[in-house]
Amino acid sequence: MEKTNFIDYIRVFCKSGHGGSGSRHFMRNKLTSKGGPDGGDGGRGGHIILKGNKQLWTLLHLRYYKNIIAENGENGQKNNSTGRSGKDIIIEVPLGTVAKDELTGMVEAEILNDGQEIIFMQGGIGGLGNAHFATPTNQAPEYAQPGMSGVEGWKLMELKVLADVGLVGFPNAGKSTLLSVVTAAKPAIANYAFTTLTPQLGIVAYRDGKSFCMADLPGIIEGAAEGKGLGHRFLRHIERNAILLFMIPADSEDAGKEFEILKNELEAYNPEMLQKEFVIAISKSDMLDEELKRELAKDLPPHIPHVFISSVTGEGLNVLKDLLWKKLND
């Protein structure tokens, strides 16, 4: 994913269509000079609909449509003819998109499945024509209903990456290298912090044709929950991951402390993060002998499973895949 093309947050103005007005028409033809009311109903205003598209991975396409305005419904016609409904606007978004109202911050729609459609903003209902208001005592009503107004407002679209496993760790912990080895993804890899600036997705091939999705997320630093570093821009992507794989390099000064810092940042952002399944992977383990591995393991929390891996030599990768698959399917 190119950083210039990955857009996970956008602000757009949306307006659904107004309903058409009902008609106040009376039948008039060469045989009837004073016929009864025959005004038709107004058409419905156009909806604004969100639709999931698994082929999309960014909100970039919405950057060029700052104003999304649906068509108004047509007014009712004579001969009890209903006006045409306004054309709906369908906005295709990637899976994991959340739509919020800018003023209230309320979540109004959430797209999780391919092809899923949600009426995000309803068009106004068309007004009734005067034919609906005829009664025995008022056989020539001179009024009809106006159409209902549409809905408008500024909306926020946020993309939260959908993945089974999310890689969590400090910058340069080996997350991108692991993703490049166990999937076909080709993230940028370099020996400096914040090589990964946008989420990277890859499919991990498992046994018997099975697979699961893994996401490499930009590295955490202390204070990320308060917006330091890449802050909230990446933390929201972790909310959708079923399992969090904490990547701690073998050359870390204190592996246990590093895990606690990572966990505390997640908790500060959203305490519900602690309800997810945790797995710890000690990366760059080709640097360790068995004695050092035993010593390092003592610093790790005993209730969380851990695996020593090396993306360079392949050490522990199959064990890691087995563990993740078991956790996903328990």
How many helices (DSSP H) and strands (DSSP E) are in the chain?
A: 5, 14
Provide the pLDDT for residue 197: 52
Indicate if the pLDDT at residue 222 is higher than 60: no
Provide the pLDDT for residue 173: 77
Domain end (from 159, 175, 195) = 159
Please work out, in degrees rounded to the nearest 5, the angle formed at the alpha carbon of residue 296 by the alpha carbons of 291 and 297. Answer: 100
Domain of residue 111 covers 1-159
Nearest CA among 125, 124, 127, 123 for reference residue 23: 127
Query: Does 142 share its domain with 48?
Result: yes
Domain end (from 103, 130, 159) = 159
Nearest CA among 210, 302, 316, 214 for reference residue 256: 302
How many CA atoms, within 13 angstroms, populate the side-chain half-sphere of residue 148? 15
Query: Does 39 share its domain with 55?
Result: yes
Q: What's this model's pTM, rounded to 2 decimal places?
A: 0.67
Q: How confident is the model at residue 89 (pLDDT cuts 50, 70, 90)?
A: very high
How far apart CA 279 and CA 42 sit, in angstroms, is 59
How far apart CA 100 and CA 86 sit, in angstroms, is 24
Token pair of 56, please?
A: 């999309």
Indicate if the pLDDT at residue 3 is higher than 70: no
Indicate if the pLDDT at residue 152 is higher than 70: yes
* Count of other CB atoms within 10 angstroms of residue 94: 23
Please work out, in degrees rounded to the nearest 5, the angle formed at the alpha carbon of residue 226 by the alpha carbons of 254 and 220. Answer: 40
- Spatial neighbors of 325 by CB under 8 A, at least 6 apart, are 206, 210, 212
Amino acid at 70: A
Query: Does 171 share its domain with 275?
Result: yes
Please work out, in degrees rounded to the nearest 5, the angle formed at the alpha carbon of residue 65 by the alpha carbons of 7 and 235. Answer: 25
Give 33-66 pLDDT, tens digit per residue.
778 899 999 999 999 999 999 888 788 888 887 7
Q: How confident is the model at residue 220 (pLDDT cuts 50, 70, 90)?
A: low
User: Helix or strand or coil: residue 306?
Assistant: strand
Number of structural domains the chain divides into = 2
- CATH number of domain containing 319: 3.40.50.300
Give 10-29 pLDDT, tens digit per residue.
899 999 999 999 999 998 87
Express as a percent the part of the chain with pLDDT over 90: 43
Place of tokens 């600036």: 197
